[in-house]
Amino acid sequence: MVGPVPELDARASACAERIARAEGVLLASHIDADGLASAGIAASALERAGIPFEATFANQLDAEALEEIAESGFGTVLFTDFGSGQLDLIAEHEDRGAFTPVICDHHQPADAETEFHCNPLLEGLNGATELSGAGTAYLLARALGGPANRDLAALAVVGAVGDMQSSDGELVGANAAVVREGVEAGVLDTATDLALYGTQTRPLPKLLEYTSDVGIPGISGDANGTLRFLDDLDIDLREGGEWRCWADLADDEKRTVASALVRRAVASGVPSERIDGLIGTTHTLAREQPGTELRDASEFSTLLNATARYERADVGLAVCLGDREGALDAARELLKNHRRNLSAGLRLVRSMGITRETNLQWFDAEDRIPETIVGIVAGMALGSDGADPGKPIVAFAEKDDGSAKVSARGTHALVRRGLDLSAVVGTAARAVGGDGGGHDVAAGATVPEGERAAFIARADRLVGEQLA
């Protein structure tokens, strides 16, 4: 059993039994990091079970996408990391015999039912913090292949981390049980370490310069200040004239740098909760090459995001399935482009400014930031100097049809105060003729052209009611 709820394992077993009877399966998944990790887990389990399958990906599982799925000719469709919120639409195809759906998801279910449905929310678990889409796919894989599939726990952790389910690096609930299985299987290592992005691949000056979430004066966003800070330490952090990465340091060297960082943060008046965020639980993929993006769960998830969000989900899936040559090289090139786009997007937000309402803040990127990455930029902007960390942020981007993509991001601290962005975004979007949903800490929607102001007004009021 994985996790504290036997009923959820029973749901996974029922789904696995249905999959095992299928002559072939169409695997349909979302295109973010959690969706790709989910697909990687499911595809590995199907391959190992000898079940023929094809994979397809979508950013949004709408009526058009479902019609294409129905026309694929597959009698069984496995949905991972989406499907629950579209149960009503899926049920229409199921009722006319187009296909049998099997759903492994963690989003809020629509008001409809289907027989093969594994979702933590159905058994009282929080789908935003206790089990991700990849975690739910892992339950299916364990039910389908038994303990032999425990190695897939590593991908489940990548999905959870990529879906913002960790707080200070810690994974809780059923996610914690998945971590334990990964450690037991020898594919995961956990440790208390510096909780900054890029510990495997970024040279130390860049690692510290980009500590935007903590915001240490004279270091964060300050290249020269970072170099002075490191040069003042009484240890040699270079090798062959090149700066080493955090992962290259010995334990005593790590302690020296971390202690100096904390002292600088305290002396600079950084709030204690931000200082605490410097150290957290890290999740290392033990079988991956040290010093690569695949070694760290957070960096692995970013690599996956860089593939699917640029219409190369096939590359990300291949990496999940073990391709460490052509697909990994292609993914790294996509990651370089992704980082450039994110940097450009963040510069754009800083130049245009963030508008603050009573209870939330927002910016409108129009067509200058792709809708597939505007949510990531919003999350980065929330941790930057120009934003108020005490308010959730909403971002707009233009879709091809003229409607607006809405991405909302909060913090776990705000969620603990009562914030639920899924409810806010869904309610506000439907009030102006759109639709949306997601999780308490991150959500998205689509709203009609010309309805941005009305959406913001209603969302601002709803956030105020939640945080009152």
* Residue 207 pLDDT: 93
pTM to 2 decimal places: 0.88
Mean pLDDT of 436-461: 93
* Residue 168 pLDDT: 64
Query: Taking all residues of the chain, what is their mean pLDDT, rounded to a whole number?
Result: 93
* Residue 4 pLDDT: 54
* Residue 213 pLDDT: 67
* Residue 178 pLDDT: 96
* Residue 158 pLDDT: 98
Closest Cα to residue 368, out of 350, 393, 387, 390?
350
120-148 pLDDT tens trace: 999 999 998 999 999 999 999 999 999 99
Domains located in the chain, CATH noted: 6-186 (3.90.1640.30), 194-341 (no CATH), 353-467 (3.10.310.40)
Contacts of 325 (CB under 8 A, 6+ apart): none
Mean pLDDT of 208-226: 84
Residue 10 pLDDT greater than 60, yes or no: yes
Residue 322 pLDDT greater than 80, yes or no: yes
27-75 pLDDT tens trace: 999 999 999 999 999 999 999 999 999 999 998 898 999 999 999 999 9
The answer to which of 210-214, 332-336, 420-424 has the lowest mean pLDDT is: 210-214
pLDDT bucket at 220, cuts 50 / 70 / 90? confident
